[in-house]
Amino acid sequence: MADITMPKMGFDMTEGLIVRWLKKVGDHVNKGEAIAEIETDKVTIEIETFVAGTISEIVAEAGSRTPVGGVIARTGEAGAAVASKPAAAPAAVAVAAPAPVAAAAAPRAAVATTSSTGLKASPIAKRMASEHGLNLGDIQGTGPSGRIVRDDVAAAIAGNPTPVARPAAAAAAPAAPVVAPPPAAAAGATVVPLTSMRRTITRRLTQSWQSAPHFYVSMDIDMGATLELRKQINAPLAKDQQVSINDIIVKACGVALAQFPYLNASYVEEGIQLNPNVNVSIAVAIDSGLVAPVITNTDSRSLGGVAREAKRLIALARDGKLGAENLSGGTFTVSNLGMYGVSTFDAIITPPQCAILAVGAVRRTPVFKGDSNEVVAANICSITLSADHRITDGAEAARFVAEIKRLIENPLSMLI
């Protein structure tokens, strides 16, 4: 008999949520075959078994959370007796010495009341129904082919708020006198449970805001030369191969970071860690939250190489197919809200990085031409660097932003 455990899909992953099982007890599986779909703080991904055999026991039911390394299932040789359903719970307790596994027992009980066999429902809809003790069979799906989606479950929760178990956790908050308990949900309000991704965004960015003393440096960039170069580059290319403004900005950041190692650093207990590679993360909004896939070795890639890799990663993100290798190792982040018409904004640093660049929209603006009094129209983009004052200072950050400005206003220098 072999244990199948929750894999570690990223350096900061501590637990995973079993979204659904692709195999059941008694099924034969081959080495490398997908057996379950799990949700981490960053992605939803299928996991594979590294051994062939027959699923003899499912320890972690769909909807439950299991710490990294915790047993989620067991396999035995073909023809071996399989564990009966009642035996599953004691087996889980025997393995689950760490406290986090014991906490997963509550969602497991909720899953037992949710009959989802044969029903079409999105992973988040299944999880929400499980956490609120709702039977998917009682919910009318409005998605394609009657698929039950998140909004369907949210509507059901609004009409049946009693099963929600969240207030019980809130009741324990007064035990920590330094933290005010969260306000109770208003009568008739819909409480949408946090996804693993939203929970991690909350935890990590709160940690960043509280531990890293942020400061900001803003600068306006004349985008005229970059827009003209982009026009020339894209003229012969198919639309799906064209270079975006963000690609050029990301490339400029990569080149500048190679010259400013303290902006490509991390704060660790021993001091300041200067990272050996320049890996720029690009913030991508998806339905379930925000992910930041990493363009590795950004400084040494060609502009076309940056553009192709960005397109590949964005496609994977929107299809929900990003792997841990796509999300780990970032040393700097670019967050662009220009496509939403945002002129300027301040971003929160993504730990363990020490800086993030916020990029606004390119806007047509009247400016003075050189040192003369002549006013001309220019395409201006505002950028704001958020940096960790434990690692760098205002003067260095200003020089770094000025270098990004120089590169973008003279984009041919990045092609040499």
Identify whether 389 is a catalytic site residue: yes
Question: Is the omega angle on the peptide bond into residue 352 within 30 degrees of 0, that is, cis?
Answer: yes
CA dist., res. 272 & res. 261, Å (int): 11
3-state secondary structure 244-270: CHHHHHHHHHHHHHHHCHHHCEEEECC
The helix (H) or strand (E) run that includes residue 384 is: strand 375-388
Burial of 14 (0-12, 13-18, 19+ CB in 10 A): middle
Q: Exactly one of 138, 151, 346, 393 is catalytic; name it.
A: 393
The answer to whether 102 and 42 have CB atoms below 8 angstroms apart is no
Burial of 60 (0-12, 13-18, 19+ CB in 10 A): buried
Rg (CA), the chain: 25
Identify whether 393 is a catalytic site residue: yes
The encoded tokens of residue 195 equal 């996804």
The answer to whether 280 and 295 have CB atoms below 8 angstroms apart is yes
The answer to whether 191 and 157 have CB atoms below 8 angstroms apart is yes
Token look-up 């007796």 returns 81
The answer to whether 97 and 13 have CB atoms below 8 angstroms apart is no
| Catalytic residue annotation | 389, 393
